[in-house]
Chains A and B, each alone.
Chain A
Amino acid sequence: ETGVTQTPRHLVMGMTNKKSLKCEQHLGHNAMYWYKQSAKKPLELMFVYNFKEQTENNSVPSRFSPECPNSSHLFLHLHTLQPEDSALYLCASSQTGADSPLHFGNGTRLTVT
């Protein structure tokens, strides 16, 4: 049990589908993150939320849409994805101090067909 739970663990979707990834943290953290991890590529930060407010969007395509209804929950809504979007999507949470480590979920393995 990592304290950060991601569902589903695996997802296969077609390019015309709409799906959502869910993340929930029970650690009382104020910040939540979405990362993308593709094979042979570095970890890519996609979105950051601090106290439910989005503070960073690293030029992520609009086919990825985050939602943070409260400090404990984070969603990533997906629509009209491309095969190159297939990756492991990791959610993390932390407090907002520089000394605060990130706590990661186990990720959602997404395959776009």
Chain B
Amino acid sequence: DAKTTQPTSMDCAEGRAANLPCNHSTISGNEYVYWYRQIHSQGPQYIIHGLKNNETNEMASLIITEDRKSSTLILPHATLRDTAVYYCIVRVARNEKLTFGTGTRLTIIP
């Protein structure tokens, strides 16, 4: 699986959009971008994933650049409950392993 690089930490004001970047410059054509988050000592929670096209669900939007070397997770209206560590993972869909990096610690500020 391709390596990902994320900022260690970020702050965002409550009610604003939180934009979390992820670099995956070595991504290959059959690798997906997945995002998970972990809220204070709970088990991680799936957010969204995509291959090439931008994706949106009830939690977030995923914007993948045209060259697929980077992506951005967008939480459109951040709330205090979005404070968490966010993990960007790049992997081949058929890969049985699921490995995590250290993620971005996002703090939503009132």
A and B held together in a complex: no
Interface residues of A (CB under 8 A from B): none
Interface residues of B (CB under 8 A from A): none
